[in-house]
Amino acid sequence: MSLGQTFLGLLESAPRHGYDLKRTYDERFGRGKPLHFGQVYSTLSRLLRDGLVEVDAVPGDGPERKRYAITEAGVTDVARWLSQPEKPDVYLQNTLYTKVVLALLTGRPAADLLDVQRAEHLRLMRELTRRKSAGDLADQLICDHALFHLEADLRWLELTAARLDQLAKELHA
């Protein structure tokens, strides 16, 4: 996810202080991985340098807190980013596949590796299902996204388990 474009999108609705951006980001997108303040202010600094945001106000009382507002260039930038499709993730360099091949090449039980991985996927799926059932719509959508990917991984694990003997023969040929 592009943090800069995300901040621009949040700023488009209203000017905000860095603290407010962090809080809103963490609530909407950070789910389990909140931003560090250093990330927030270095990103805002870059956006300011690039002319995509400007300092809207510095309140007179209390500690100096800058409020940032999106510029027209920032609106154009975020609109362009939102209109571009994301490149689908293609997992052609997969660590799990590498482990399966190395297990077969070294005479280790690849089926055991797949069983352990299947158990870990199922554990995570149960955790996400609990989170989804207790969460709001945003939690439900992000959990569904993760669950669909885990389901695809499980299908791959099953397919690979069914083809282990054939893969072993090809690797040792």
What does the domain layout of the chain look like in residue ranges?
3-83, 95-171
Entry pTM: 0.70
pLDDT band at residue 147, thresholds of 50, 70 and 90?
very high
Give DSSP secondary structure letters for 66-131: -EEEE-HHHHHHHHHHHHSPPPPP--SS-HHHHHHHHHHHTT--HHHHHHHHHHHHHHHHHHHHHH
Average pLDDT over residues 162-173: 92
3-83: CATH number: 1.10.10.10
Q: What's the mean per-residue pLDDT of the chain? A: 90
Strand partners, 53: 70
pLDDT band at residue 61, thresholds of 50, 70 and 90?
low
